[in-house]
Amino acid sequence: MIAQDKISSLQTQYAPTVWLNGQYVNIKEADVHIMTHGLHYGSSVYEGIRVYNHKPFKLRQHIERMLHSATSLHLDSPYNIEELEEIILEIVLRNNLTFGYIRPLAWRGAESPRIDGINCSCHWAVVAWASFLEQRHSQRIQGIRLEINPTWRKAPAGCLPYTSKSAGMYTVSTIAKIESQKRGFDDSILLDMKSNVTEATTSNIFFIQDKRLYTPIPDCFLNGITRQTVLQIAENLGLEAQEYTIPVSNLNTYEAAFLTGTSIEIMPISSITYGTQVYNYNSQHPLILQLCKAYDQITY
């Protein structure tokens, strides 16, 4: 099947109405110029927002992060928080999204090939998936298999705008995930330059030991909104949770582990492979089940 056919078959999952630079248009009319700076140099930022029962979850936090990401790339926003909120709610309405996924995007346009792109216009869009995700029931029960990526590391703070969701941040995530999948794993975990655990390619990580939660300190990777939600849920449930430097040598000390992210929600990990070592975890650990139940209650 050629790529265009694949896109056509996927189009049934794309919500038909998108918002592009101030207009609501059909997705087939939402074209982008081939000379787009964002395409050539990755000068673009995005968000990912889940819709549950017609309601975008944590909308305000996602829009705040979107504007923060744009600012970190010196991309202007002609829209404020309230205007972006209104546009996103309108996209939910026009596409009649019950359970879906919304993606705001911003990027530099086609006016200049220079790296600074300073003369390029800023473009803003909101696109959506009508039925983005299967529920991944079997993975939720069995847990996913991860590896510590043997090739790629997380760049130290100061090397990338790590608090933003900018396209350039994802180059290593894409390569690492492709390579881990080729080796038969579901995803990669990246270590920092000091061999401490950071996160998976597009989600944060937690460990469990003795009824306590441990999660790495987000000092060179994204402090995800789901991660923050889980920390809040833990506090509400009276569970102890600690942000902690987690050396890779600690992996054998935990009973259970899970990932968090907007799209995967709370995903149990069944094993982490590190070189020749395989660490197995209880994907049905009672604390994971408790957190999943509480998360479902606030989202669904």
The residue ranges that bind ligand PMP (CB under 6 A) are 48, 165, 199, 202-204, 222, 224-227, 260-262
Q: How far is the CB of 230 from ligand PMP (least distance, A)?
A: 9
| Alpha carbon 214 to chain centroid, angstroms | 20
Distance, CA of 199 to CA of 206 (rounded, Å): 9
Q: Which residue has its beta carbon closest to ligand PMP?
A: 224
Cβ-based nearer residue to ligand PMP, 120 or 169: 169
- Distance (Å, whole) CA 224 – CA 242: 16
Tell the smallest beta-carbon distance from residue 165 to ligand PMP (Å): 6
Smallest distance, ligand PMP to C-beta of residue 57, A: 10
Closest CA to 299 of 259, 264, 257, 258: 264
87-105: string of b/e by CB count within 10 Å (b at 16+)? bbeebbeebebebbbbbbb
Which residue lies nearer to ligand PMP by CB, 38 or 224?
A: 224
Distance from the Cα of residue 237 to its chain's centroid: 25
Nearer to ligand PMP, 202 or 283 (CB): 202
CB contact at 8 A, 259 and 144: yes
Q: Which is nearer to ligand PMP, 93 or 159 (CB)?
A: 159
Q: Give the residue with the Cβ less far from ligand PMP, 15 or 167.
A: 167
- The residue ranges of DSSP E strands in 27-143, in sequence order, are 44-46, 49-52, 55-56, 100-108, 122-129
Q: How far is the CB of 223 from ligand PMP (least distance, A)?
A: 8
CB of 24 to ligand PMP, least distance (A): 25
